Amino acid sequence: ETGVTQTPRHLVMGMTNKKSLKCEQHLGHNAMYWYKQSAKKPLELMFVYNFKEQTENNSVPSRFSPECPNSSHLFLHLHTLQPEDSALYLCASSPRTSGGAGTDTQYFGPGTRLTVL
Amino acid sequence: AQSVTQLGSHVSVSEGALVLLRCNYSSSVPPYLFWYVQYPNQGLQLLLKYTSAATLVKGINGFEAEFKKSETSFHLTKPSAHMSDAAEYFCAVRNQAGTALIFGKGTTLSVSS
């Protein structure tokens, strides 16, 4: 496997279910991101992890719970979601988050299409 | 605060015609700007990026973009469209903290034969 992979690619869940999305990067990067892509809206940054530490939580509801056990893996745990949470969830990685000069390209996975019934 | 505005949610061109996708940015610091492309059922792929070096940036698949500070613009162009260019295109600016990207709403490019 190369690049950034995400599983599952499609997920349908009820509002009372608990499920998890998985992201794995094979690029040796140290920063990982979760984005939400809804129809007709810009990509929304949800969480940022740098060297396994969460560095940004963009006011995401607590029904979304991220986990980053190591620099290669990122999870998004889901519970008691709402229908409006249906979207494409994209994971990305970069060598690091840029705190100063320079910039780091983010590499995206194919996404998980989530439908909440 | 940083932001991007993509003018036109949908652009249609004929095969062989010029492609022009517009992006204007707002940034309180010198910006780092990106264009990404998303094909159906796929993630985003980097086309090109501006990092304060040359103002004309060349990317993959024949695309290029010109950074114009006076116009706060970073428009994406391609001289001759191919059918395979049909996709959604996103302009993005790095946030002030340098920790993430802020994306525009995207522009869907359709190419007709």
Q: Out of B41, B98, B105, whose CB is closest to A42? A: B105
In chain B, the residue whose alpha carbon lies closest to the alpha carbon of A94 is B100
The pLDDT assigned to A97 comes to 65
Spatial distance between the Cα atoms of A90 and A34, rounded to a whole number of angstroms: 6
Q: Which of B34, B83, B11, B72 is nearest to A92 (CA)?
A: B34
What φ, ψ does residue B83 adopt, rounded to 5°? -55, -35
How high is the mean pLDDT of chain B?
92
Instruction: Determine the pLDDT at residue A57.
Output: 82
Residues of chain B above pLDDT 90, percent: 76
Q: What would the two tokens of residue A85 be? A: 């949470």
Distance separating alpha carbons of residues A67 and A49, to the nearest angstrom: 9
Tokens 């780092």 appear where? B32
- Judged by a CB distance cut-off of 8 A, whether residue A87 touches chain B is no
* % of chain A with per-residue pLDDT over 90: 64
In the 3-class helix/strand/coil scheme, how is B51-74 assigned residue by residue? CCCCCEEECHHHCEEEEEHHHCEE
* Residue A78, token pair as written in the block: 């889901």
CB contact under 8 A, A99 and B99: yes
Q: Which residue has the higher pLDDT, B102 or A56?
A: B102
Task: Note if the bond before B30 is cis, omega within 30 degrees.
Answer: no
Q: For residue A42, which residues of chain B lie inside 8 Å, CB to CB?
A: 102-106
DSSP β-bridge partners for residue B7: B22
Of the two residues B6 and B40, the one the predictor is more confident about is B6
Residue-by-residue pLDDT tens, chain A, 117 positions: 569 999 999 999 998 889 999 999 999 988 999 999 998 788 899 999 988 888 888 889 999 999 999 989 999 999 999 999 999 999 999 887 655 434 478 899 999 999 999
A75: closest CA of chain B, how far (Å): 17
Residue A75 falls in which region: left (phi positive, over 0), alpha (psi -120 to 50) or beta: beta
pLDDT for residue A100 = 43
AA letter at B3: S
What pLDDT is attached to residue A102?
41
